[in-house]
Amino acid sequence: MPRTIRIAAAQMGPVNPSEERSVTIGRIMKLLSEAADIGCDLAVFPELALSTFFPREYHVDLREADIFYEKTMPAQDLQPLFALARERRIGFSLGYAELVEDDVIGRRYNSQVLVDKQGTVISKYRKIHLPGHADNRENDPFQNLEKYYFEVGDLGFPVVNAFDGRVGMCICNDRRWPETYRVMGLKGVELIVLGYTTPLQNPRADQSAELRQFHNHLCMQAGAYQNSTFVVGVAKAGIEGGVELMGGSCIVHPDGRIIAQATSLSDELVVADCDLDDCLNGKAEEFNFERNRRPSLYEGLLTPHGETA
Amino acid sequence: MPRTIRIAAAQMGPVNPSEERSVTIGRIMKLLSEAADIGCDLAVFPELALSTFFPREYHVDLREADIFYEKTMPAQDLQPLFALARERRIGFSLGYAELVEDDVIGRRYNSQVLVDKQGTVISKYRKIHLPGHADNRENDPFQNLEKYYFEVGDLGFPVVNAFDGRVGMCICNDRRWPETYRVMGLKGVELIVLGYTTPLQNPRADQSAELRQFHNHLCMQAGAYQNSTFVVGVAKAGIEGGVELMGGSCIVHPDGRIIAQATSLSDELVVADCDLDDCLNGKAEEFNFERNRRPSLYEGLLTPHGETA
C-alpha cells in the first residue's frame, strides 16, 4: 500500500515592510484553506513567513527588531491559523523569528515549526547555517544581517515520525550544505521541508539570476537524490523591500527530479502527490549507508573550524 | 594573473574483452598525443582504462583475474606512455586495477594515479565507495563484482599541489557521495579528476538511461559548486562486453555549470581552459568553511555503520 501524501509548497509573494501583520496572516490562512480544499495533507510556508525579511535593516540595538519575533508559538494572533489546520485536518510548516526570553538580552533564532493535522506543534528547527554577516555594511546594495540578528540553531536537525513518514526541516542557506541532508538522511528522513528567502543578486559574487536559480535547485535535487528523500523548497518571492527575491518553489522527488514547480512570483500553491515509499529503493540499494558509506575514511568532516561568526 | 590550465577529459569508447592490451595502450597514447597537440596541460582517462571492465565476470578463484592488474605503475609496457608525457610535457591521470603482492593472496584495489609533466607519479588514489556486490549473481542481466575483486581503498582522499593548484582524485561511484567532495574540499581542492564506467541500466532500480545520466551530472555539479572546485568526469562509454555504458564525460566549473561535454560514445577529447582562480570566490564567500560550516552540529556523520561489505 503506497504512503501517498499530497503536499503543497505554499509560495508567498513579497511581504513588504508596510504590510500589516494581520494581512500577512490572512494570506497564510487563505493558502492553507485552499490547500485543504484540494485535499492536501501538508502545506509548507517560507522562511520568516510572518513578516518582511527584517535582517535587511541594521539597528544599533538589535532589540529594536524584536517586534518581528514570536515569543510563543502559536502567538495569540496565530490561534486562528492553528484552529484552521485542526478544523480542516491539514498540517503545515512555518518559518518565523523566535525570541527566547531566558535572560535580559534573550536568544534569537531563525526557526521553523512542523504542525500536525490536529494543529499541534510536533517539531521545531532552528537554522544552523546562517548566511550573511554581523557587521553593518551600509554601502552594500542590500544587507543580510542574519549573523547579527540570530544565533546558530542549537537543536541539530530533528527528524520526526509524521505524515506517515520521517520528516525533517531546514531553512534557506542550510539547503546549500550537503551535511544538512546527510545528517537527516542518516536518521532515515523521507521528507525535508524548507523555506527560503533568496535574493536574485549576490553582492559578494558575480552570479546571474539564472545561475543563482540553478544553484537553488541543484542543491535540493542533489540532497534529495543522495539521501533518497523528498525535498520541498518554498520561496518568499518577488520584490520585497526593494530587493528581488527568487521564486522557483518546488517539490523534488527522491530520484532528484523536480516534480512540481512554481510559475509565478506571487502567493501560489505548488502541489504534488508524494508516495513516501519512493524513498525505499534508494535507501536499500544505491544509497544503502550501512553497505556503502565509509565513515572511517571521511577525515576532517567533524574537525572544528573554530566556527567563527 | 590567472592560473589557467587546459584540461582534456579523454573519454574512451569500449575496451572489449577481445581487445589486445597493446591496442588499448595505443589508443591511450593517441589521445594523450592529440591532447598535447592542442596545448593541454593534463589529460584525464577513465576508470580501469587499460582493460575491459572485468568485474562483470565472476571467477571462483579471484586470482584468475590477476592478468588485469598492474603490479607496478608504470608497468613495463606503459613506459612509452610515461615517456610520451615527459616528451610532450603533458600530465595525465589514469585508472587501473592494482595488485599489491605483500602476502600469498595479495591486496587488490581499483586505483588511479596522477602523473605530472615530467612523467612522474605524484599521487595515487584507491577507490573507497565500491558499488556492486561480492556474491555471484549470475541471474542478473549483468554483474558488478567490485566488492569481490577489490578492497576498500586505504589512502583516504589525497589532495596534492600540482598543475598550479590543489588536485584530488576519486573514482566512479565515489562521485555520488557528497563526503567525497567535502573531504577534499576541506583540503582546499581546486580540481577533482575522476573516471567512471557506468551502465545505462541499473539492474536493482527502475531508472531510465536519461535519469541515470542526470544523476551522473547532478552529483558532479553539486560537488563542484558546494566545494568551489573544478570537477572533470571521464567515461568509458559505449557497448562493452555486451553492456551499454553511459558517456557524458564533462568538465564542471566551480559554479556548477558544465563547460564542456562529450558528444560521442567513442574515444574523444573534451577540452576546456580552466582558471583555477575561479575557485577563490566560492571558498572565500558562500562556501567559506571557517565562517559557515558547523561541524559541532553534524551529528552522526562519522558514526561507524559497521561498514559491511
Q: Check pLDDT > 60 for residue A141.
A: yes
Closest CA to B55 of B221, B194, B198: B198
Judging contacts by C-beta atoms under 8 Å, the chain A residues touching residue B286 are: 131, 176, 202, 204-205
| pTM to 2 decimal places | 0.97
Domain count, chain B: 1
Average pLDDT for A178-206: 96
Contacts of B52 (CB under 8 A, 6+ apart): B14, B15, B16, B17, B19, B240, B241
Write down the pLDDT at residue A103.
Answer: 84
In a domain, B140, yes or no: yes
Closest CA to B62 of B171, B154, B129, B145: B145
In a domain, A309, yes or no: no
B179 near A CB under 8 A: yes
Average pLDDT for B4-28: 98
Chain A: give the shortest CA distance to residue B33, in Å.
Answer: 36
Write down the pLDDT at residue A148.
Answer: 97
Q: Check pLDDT > 70 for residue B41.
A: yes
In a domain, A99, yes or no: yes
A104 near B CB under 8 A: no
Percent of chain B whose pLDDT exceeds 70? 99
Average pLDDT, chain A: 96
Lowest mean pLDDT among A294-308, B18-32, B43-57, B169-183: A294-308
In a domain, B42, yes or no: yes
Write down the pLDDT at residue A228.
Answer: 98
Upper half-sphere CA count for residue A48 (Cβ side, 13 Å): 29
Give the confidence band of A104 by pLDDT, cuts at 50, 70, 90. confident
B134 near A CB under 8 A: no
Q: Check pLDDT > 90 for residue B172.
A: yes
**What's chain A's Rg over C-alpha atoms?**
19
Average pLDDT, chain B: 96
Give the confidence band of A305 by pLDDT, cuts at 50, 70, 90. confident
Chain A: give the shortest CA distance to residue B308, in Å.
Answer: 5
Average pLDDT for B98-102: 95
What pLDDT, in 10s, does the model give residues B115-161?
999 999 999 999 999 999 999 999 999 999 999 999 999 999 999 99
Judging contacts by C-beta atoms under 8 Å, the chain B residues touching residue A179 are: 178, 182, 293-294, 298, 301
Write down the pLDDT at residue B307.
Answer: 56
Domain encompassing residue A182 = 4-297
What pLDDT, in 10s, does the model give residues A142-153?
999 999 999 999
Strand-pairing partners, residue A115, are A92, A121
Average pLDDT for A49-61: 97
What's the rounded Cα separation, in Å, for the pair B33 and B81? 10
Q: Check pLDDT > 70 for residue B309.
A: no
CATH at residue A71: 3.60.110.10
In a domain, B305, yes or no: no
B295 near A CB under 8 A: yes
Are the beta carbons of A71 and A109 closer than 8 angstroms? no
What's the rounded Cα separation, in Å, for the pair A243 and B290? 28
Write down the pLDDT at residue B146.
Answer: 97
Strands A268-275 and A4-11: what pairing? antiparallel
In a domain, A307, yes or no: no
Contact assignment for B219 to A211 by CB distance below 8 Å: no
